[in-house]
Amino acid sequence: MEDKLIEKLVSIAGEDWVIVDLEKIEGYLYDETPKPASPEAIEDVVVVKPEDSEEISAVMKLANEEGVNVIPRGAGTGLCGAAIPTKPAIILSLERLNDIKDLDEDNLMVTCEAGVTLENLFEKVDETDHLFFPPHPGDEGAQVGGLVVENAGGARAVKYGVMRNYVKGMEVVLPTGEQVSLGGKILKNNTGYDLMHLLMGSEGTLGIITEVTLRLYPEANETATLLVPFEDRHSAMSAVPRVLIEGHIPLALEYVEKELIEESARHLGKSWPADEGEAFLILIITGKDEEEIFDKSETMVGVLQENGALEPLFAQRRKEQESILDIRSNVYTALEEETTDILDVTVPPAEVGTLIDKIEELAEEYDTRIPVYGHAADGNVHPHIMNVDGEAPGYFEELKEEIYQIALDMGGVITGEHGVGETRLKNLPAALSEEERKLMRGIKKIFDPNDVLNLGKAVM
């Protein structure tokens, strides 16, 4: 980066907030994309940490004058390389915008700056004792801005939907430096095109989100966890729609198989509490009191057993529930070291069993192992492509394309929650028509006429 540019950044944000020292920049170069699949970061970058939207606006105006790429940076927990610099860039970190400005209990809304972490948001909302923020994508270190532009999902989407369902207002600095205020504390808004929803899922390519207003919900007081074993995958999967039709939508409805969940338990030094079954559904049930929880659980167990479930395990004590959920959450970490890439293909929910069968056939064909688990009721699963001898296998791209094609042929999509970023960019032509991609390129050009915001990500 040229000294002149760095001086101008210093004049905007102050010397303490412009980082050029390579050692200090290191932590801003990568996200959580598994290393073998991650794009190689370049070091020709400068990190700037603005204090507010005025400074962000000034940085964007400077970037337009100088023709420099700017990459908005949240917490770097993304899984598709969307925040990794692969061209010379100003990395614009949102970390100093970390204020929760307003918790409005009457309107059930919270307004916070984009750099607030999910963990801090949960803590703040918890203080009310009766409200909660439903979405729970797996890493609580993620920032609200990152969660919004990745339209993150997670296990609770089955009952409450993804981030998109919660964002009611946002403040945005456009790529050209102008600022816009979209939506607000309102639940209905039909005034023109919905620009706010366009920003959601835009992966930092259409604007920099500085503040977000999110919808809250009344908290359920009680939870219980049902661990339900089945003889096989298809019995488990065919029970899922039956549970949903019954009307007691669980907070989460996760799917795991025996070999994998036992591997995760071993990884944590624990043991998986179910003695029988090859495939498992994990249901989190919520209710206002114990009675409601028991009623709902009874109904669900009835439905599940009519549909092939073996003896379910009912966990109500906090410790027992946490232990089951901890083992499920750590499937990812148990596999992480040997993973080339984690995919998040999504198909119509009733097709998940068939999708996993087909992935298993591919694994045999490639003489490898492709562990699969995920959010059963959303049709969203995570196949892991595994390393060979500690490295990405030579067939990695080909196998990834084949898995994507299977999902697409089943009426699905190549990514349900992690986004396109850079790692899935080359797969876009298989997933979207030329007409769709042309519209997306056109939208990008309108927002960012001088091509300065997060180039080479999400759109092609």
Strands 252-257 and 372-375: antiparallel
Task: Please give the residues from 137 up to 156 whose contact with ligand FAD meets the rule CB under 6 A.
Answer: 137-139, 142-143, 145-147, 149-150, 152-154
Q: Which residue has the tokens 């989100």?
A: 209
Radius of gyration of the chain (CA): 23
Task: Please give the residues from 243 up to 282 whose contact with ligand FAD meets the rule CB under 6 A.
Answer: none
Contact pick of 5, 17, 28, 32 for ligand FAD (by CB under 6 A): 32
Contact pick of 112, 260, 454, 456 for ligand FAD (by CB under 6 A): 454
Q: Does 418 bind ligand FAD (CB under 6 A)?
A: yes
What is the nearest approach in angstroms of ligand FAD to the Cβ of residue 452?
13
Three-class secondary structure of residue 301 per DSSP = helix
The H-or-E segment that residue 57 falls in is helix 53-66
What is the nearest approach in angstroms of ligand FAD to the Cβ of residue 35?
13
What is the nearest approach in angstroms of ligand FAD to the Cβ of residue 113?
9
Three-class secondary structure of residue 433 per DSSP = coil
What is the nearest approach in angstroms of ligand FAD to the Cβ of residue 137?
3
Contact pick of 55, 171, 203, 254 for ligand FAD (by CB under 6 A): 203
Contact, 346 vs 415, CB < 8 A? Answer: yes
Per-position x/- string for 90-129, each x denoting binding to ligand FAD as judged by CB under 6 A, each - no binding: ----x-------------------x---------------
CB-count exposure of residue 289 (10 Å: 0-12, 13-18, 19+): exposed
Instruction: Provide the 10 A C-beta neighbour count for residue 322.
Output: 13
Contact pick of 204, 349, 371, 456 for ligand FAD (by CB under 6 A): 204
Q: Which residue stretch of 74-82, 234-242, 255-263, 279-287 sits at the interface with ligand FAD (rule: CB under 6 A)?
A: 74-82
Cα-to-chain-centroid distance, residue 36 = 20
Q: Which residue stretch of 16-24, 76-84, 181-189, 235-243 sits at the interface with ligand FAD (rule: CB under 6 A)?
A: 76-84
What is the nearest approach in angstroms of ligand FAD to the Cβ of residue 203?
4
Strand partners for 230: 279
Q: Does 74 bind ligand FAD (CB under 6 A)?
A: yes
Cβ-Cβ contacts under 8 Å for 97 (sequence gap 6 or more): 50, 51, 52, 113, 114, 115, 116, 145, 210, 211
Q: Does 135 bind ligand FAD (CB under 6 A)?
A: no
* Residue 305 vs residues 186, 240, 302, 319: alpha-carbon distances, Å: 43, 12, 5, 26
Contact, 141 vs 77, CB < 8 A? Answer: yes
Contact pick of 5, 47, 59, 71 for ligand FAD (by CB under 6 A): 71
124 or 234, CB closer to ligand FAD?
124
Q: How far apart are alpha carbons 279 and 352 in whole angstroms?
A: 13
Q: Which residue stretch of 73-81, 221-229, 270-278, 310-318 sits at the interface with ligand FAD (rule: CB under 6 A)?
A: 73-81
Q: Which residue stretch of 65-73, 120-128, 234-242, 260-268 sits at the interface with ligand FAD (rule: CB under 6 A)?
A: 65-73
Among 327, 318, 422, 442, residue whose Cα is nearest residue 373:
327
Footprint on this chain of ligand FAD (rule: CB under 6 A): 31-32, 71-79, 82-83, 94, 114, 137-139, 142-143, 145-147, 149-150, 152-154, 203-204, 208-209, 332, 417-418, 454, 457
